[in-house]
Amino acid sequence: MYRHFFKRVLDIIISFTALWFLWPVLLAVAILVRIKLGAPVLFSQERPGKDEKIFRMYKFRTMTDERDEKGDLLPDEKRLTPFGKFLRSTSLDELPELWAIFTGKMSLVGPRPLLVQYLPLYNAEQHRRHEVRPGLTGWAQVNGRNCVGWQERFKLDVEYVDKMSLWMDIKIIFLTIKTVLVREGISSETSATMEYFLGNDE
């Protein structure tokens, strides 16, 4: 009952309430992003949602558009400013996703929506992470965030799909607050964000 009904009801109530009370924060962050990083204020990208249906996800921009002499974007670590790092470490860049939760494209808790280009690279078990709506936070995020390797991350995502419950979601939300406060796992050991998933070893 929770998986098929109450979880969605809670998503609507919580996201609407958060948008109502946090709109001054959203406005302030938008203004600061415009001043420090320029336009556009929002970063948007297509991501696979429940049942691998594609939707457009919005986040506050955290990187510049700096390019090399060939016109190619510089690596993430070159474009990620101190202000951008602050937005990521506090998860303020994720606040626009509250609208995706309210409209039903995402959930408060679930596997994080990854890149569309990863879809052909998943094995059958990894595809199961799309049996539920993607989340603002998830089981993998409170067990290492970006420091967790891809195989462990996918294992945690599928574990959440199998064990999803109200109490598990409450636990993840409280652990997320702790993770954000202590700013754990913002970057992987070898990248400013997270390395690209290149597929499974044969």
**What tens digit of pLDDT does each residue of 185-194 get?**
555 544 556 7
pLDDT at residue 148 greater than cutoff 80:
no
> Percentage of the chain with pLDDT > 90?
67
Helix (H) or strand (E) segment spanning residue 100: helix 97-102
Q: Which residue has the tokens 């607050």?
A: 177
Query: Residue written as tokens 């419950």?
Result: 165
pLDDT at 45 over 70: yes
Q: Is the pLDDT of residue 202 over 80?
A: no
Which of 72-81, 93-102, 108-117, 157-166 is the least confident region? 72-81
Beta partners for 44?
58
Which residues have a Cβ under 8 Å from the Cβ of 6 and sit 6 or more positions away? 166
Q: State pLDDT tens for residues 127-139.
A: 999 999 999 999 9
Give the tokens for residue 14.
Answer: 């919580």
- Host H or E run for residue 176: helix 166-182
**Model pTM?**
0.88
Give the pLDDT of residue 191.
Answer: 52
Higher pLDDT, 66 or 102: 102
Whether the per-residue pLDDT at 178 is higher than 90: the answer is no
The residue with greater pLDDT, 88 or 131, is: 131
Q: What is the mean pLDDT of residues 137-158?
A: 88
Rounded-to-integer distance, Cα 113 and Cα 47, Å: 6
Q: Between vectors from CA 102 to CA 39 and to CA 168, what angle results, nearest 5°?
A: 115
Query: Is the model's pLDDT at 183 over the cut of 70?
Result: no
Q: Looking at residues 161-185, what average pLDDT do you find?
A: 88
